[in-house]
Structure 1
Amino acid sequence: MEQKTLAYEIREELTKGAARRLRAAGQIPAVVYGVGTPSSIAVNAKEFDKNFATISESTIITLQGKEEKTVLVKDYQEDVLKGVITHLDFYEIQKGKKLNTHVSIHVTGNPVGVREGGLLDHALHEIEIECLPKDLPEQISINIEGLNIGDAVHVSDIAIPEGVKILTNSDSVVASITGKVADAAVDQPEVAEETEVE
């Protein structure tokens, strides 16, 4: 289980103008909810970018400030053109209380079917789980090396760590190997070059 720390400050002004000034000063406006009354905070943009190259619901974060809060990133807003995070939603979790969150699925291995010309379709990239914070896996890894053309791995096939319950439909397909890649040269009629006669 991955766990990181992040400093925060309480936001007193909650207007759009105040949020713009925060962003201009290198801060990211955020909200913390899940336990008690939601609170409005701000975190340092550079510190967040440095520690969180990818944003995942399976990373437990300890927010350090006026009070220490243990949270997950539940949602975020991004300025795609500028490539910056403009707002964060943190969900506060409690020790000893189960939580529902999403964990990414990582497939490993070079499938037999792909080596024989098939195509890998990685259809499901994350699953919803329920567990205690201490049992939260960073990701779920599945070895698909043995898959042949026509084979598939379903959610029901996933080996999960102890203490973790999968909430995603067990019949959902995680990955499958579809038919062989069409050979561009096959069934292509030859086109005779026309020679211009003077």
Structure 2
Amino acid sequence: MTVLQARDRKDLTGQETRNIRLNGFVPGVLYGNKIESQPVSVESVAFLKTMREVGQNGLFDLELENGKKHHVMVQEVQVDPLKNHYTHIDFFEVNMKEKRDANVPVHLEGEAPGASEGGIVNHLLYEITVHCLPADIPESITVDISSLNVGDTLSISEMRSTVSVDIVNEDDEAIVTVQAPTVTEDPDETEEDGTTALGVEATEEREDDDKDRPGRVE
């Protein structure tokens, strides 16, 4: 199992937390149902490599300075929206024999026939919540849209038989739909057509007036 090294954090002041980040580490906390919360920090680059290796819901060992390892998964990550780097990580120690909920990303696969007809593929649900043992949490759930025509919708109820774990979401939740194309009138064309019609009508009126005008010879 992948191992991520962690350091203890004893000084929890704001200044020390800033120093941790300046030195290339990310402050965090280790907690669980059977352990007390413990402030830790991990190297930012090492954490990024771990996430790339195990995935969003992946399991790995968090090894503390005393050599003790904890089977954990990342419960929450906070990111600085301006600098785009990690600011805090929650590591949750999991019980491998106890089922839990996890949000799994949804990936669309295939080409919807409705899209080639001008329809718009609208991806509505980007994560599906599953309930299973930690080791059984899928890295992602793939949704095949190759049979969707214009007006079709694929819901949670149609996915249950394709996934080996229990899905928590309601059956009627829509994952993806193919909407009919929206037809809009071109204002330039409308204006042009209107002007032409008015012009023809005005011309006809003038011709009628000329016929009735005195002195006109046919």
The TM-score bracket by the shorter chain reads 0.7 to 0.9
Quote the Cα distance in structure 1 between the aligned partners of 2:83 and 2:54.
17
Identical columns (%): 29
Matched letter for residue 24 of structure 1 = L
| 1:23 maps onto 2:21 in alignment | yes
Gaps of at least 5 residues in structure 2 are 196-218
Quote the Cα distance in structure 2 between the aligned partners of 1:143 and 1:80.
33
Count the aligned residue pairs.
Answer: 190
Contact 1:4 1:59 in 2 (8 A): no
Quote the Cα distance in structure 2 between the aligned partners of 1:11 and 1:41.
5
Residue aligning to 1:196:
none
Residue aligning to 1:71:
72
1:116-161 residue CA offsets vs partner (Å, 9 max, x unmatched): 1000110000011110112111111110110011111101111344
Rg bigger for which structure? 2
Misfit runs of 4+, over 4 Å = 53-57, 183-187
1:46-87 residue CA offsets vs partner (Å, 9 max, x unmatched): 112234359964222321223211222121211121111110
Structure 1 pair 4–146 and aligned structure 2 pair: CA distance change class (3 A)? farther
CA RMSD of aligned residues (A): 2.5
Give 1:191 deviation, angstroms: 3.1
Give 1:4 deviation, angstroms: 3.9
| 1:142 maps onto 2:143 in alignment | yes
Residue aligning to 1:46:
45
Gaps of at least 5 residues in structure 1 are 194-198
Contact 2:54 2:60 in 1 (8 A): no
Give 1:181 deviation, angstroms: 4.5
TM-score (norm 1): 0.86
TM-score (norm 2): 0.78
Contact 2:72 2:93 in 1 (8 A): yes
Contact 2:121 2:176 in 1 (8 A): yes
Quote the Cα distance in structure 2 between the aligned partners of 1:184 and 1:52.
49
- Structure (1/2) with the larger strand percentage: 1
